[in-house]
Amino acid sequence: MAIMKIRGGDLDLVEYEFKGFLPGKNLKTLGLEKKRYSLKPVKGTVFVQAPARIHLTVLDMNRFAPDHPGGGGIGFAIQCYCSAEVSCTKKEVVIDYNRAPIVRNFVEVFRNVTGYKGGFRIKVTDHEHKHVGLGSTSTVMIAVATALNQAVGSPLANTQLRHLIGHNYVEETADGNIAFGFETGVGPAVSTYGGMAVMGDELSLVYHHPFAEGMNVYIIIPPTDISSAGTQEFDLLMNKARTLDYRDRELKAYLFLMDLIPALEKGDVRKAGDVIWEIEFRGSKRAEVEHHSFEIYHYMSMLREKRLEFIGMSSVGPSIAVVTELDKKTVEKLIRPLGLKIAIVTKVDNRGLVARQKK
């Protein structure tokens, strides 16, 4: 596996080796396995549908790494869904999903924590928008984790599931193994509860509130040849972004607490959009946007000039989320001269994941 260098300053250089491993080999149970759980496997199939997320920014990238979740951040859930269907079996674990290793790894985490000795039959359907900033991996994992939990009688709380996902967050490697990935906890939190969430370090949910109820969300994916995955993502998040957050993390935290949260309390989407626009130029978010060249700033600036209420790039991009009261036809007319097209039409999900039992 590759050895990547993390530089935070002239005297701050660390080498990190991406070590691939087989699913089930490096499990982090967080001490939860020490408790005895009452397991009551249900009959039939548990179905869980979880909304995807728009991840607006990390608070401080100096506080997380591929095997250390955290860093804080903000994001909101959208009505674009992943789902998981889980039923209990005697022993075998059968996974119907094209990214089976990441699911199999969490199954072993879950079984080690709860002491469940049986197997599972698992079917996953994701939203199929990968590596464009909509959080396909984290959304799938919270859907799977919740379905596994409910299938054996719900021994774990939502917070425990989120923490287990965060500390065991993995992505596939080129050789078919898995390796630890980056996780702030924003995705599982907003997928669970809906609306917008503000996260602190160590996956703590600081604040949660409904957001932009009834308004439209348009996902615009500008053309780019820049990768937002793999070693390119590592170089971005652990070097330039880390350095910029040393400088701007206090300002970003102030904007969250003193401006963004009051705007959410008032339901003032335009004010929230002004705060996010300021953050687009601060700290690690600036590095993420510039990763796709200054053209992304150009696109977002032109969208702002059209008086759209809320605009922000999701995660490491290149997806741009636009939240507005305008209908699709009007927005298409506004952005057509800019050379942009709407990729997804949706709304904010303020309900969060939904679970039901199927016989």
- pLDDT surpasses 60 at 188: yes
Nearest by Cα to 166 from 74, 84, 67? 67
The CATH number, out of the four listed (2.60.40.1930, 3.30.230.10, 3.10.20.30, 3.40.50.150), of the domain defined by the range 22-210+350-358: 3.30.230.10
- Strand 310-313: give its sheet, edge to edge: 310-313, 320-324, 216-220, 342-347
- pLDDT surpasses 50 at 10: no
> Domain map of the chain by residue range?
22-210+350-358, 216-347
Please tell me the predicted confidence (pLDDT) of residue 121: 98
Would you identify the CATH topology of the domain 216-347? Alpha-Beta Plaits (3.30.70)
Please tell me the predicted confidence (pLDDT) of residue 136: 85
Please give the helix or strand (H or E) that residue 47 lies within, else none. strand 45-58
The whole-model pTM stands at 0.91
Of residues 128 and 93, more confidence is placed in 93
Nearest by Cα to 74 from 88, 91, 60? 60
- pLDDT surpasses 80 at 235: no
Please tell me the predicted confidence (pLDDT) of residue 130: 61
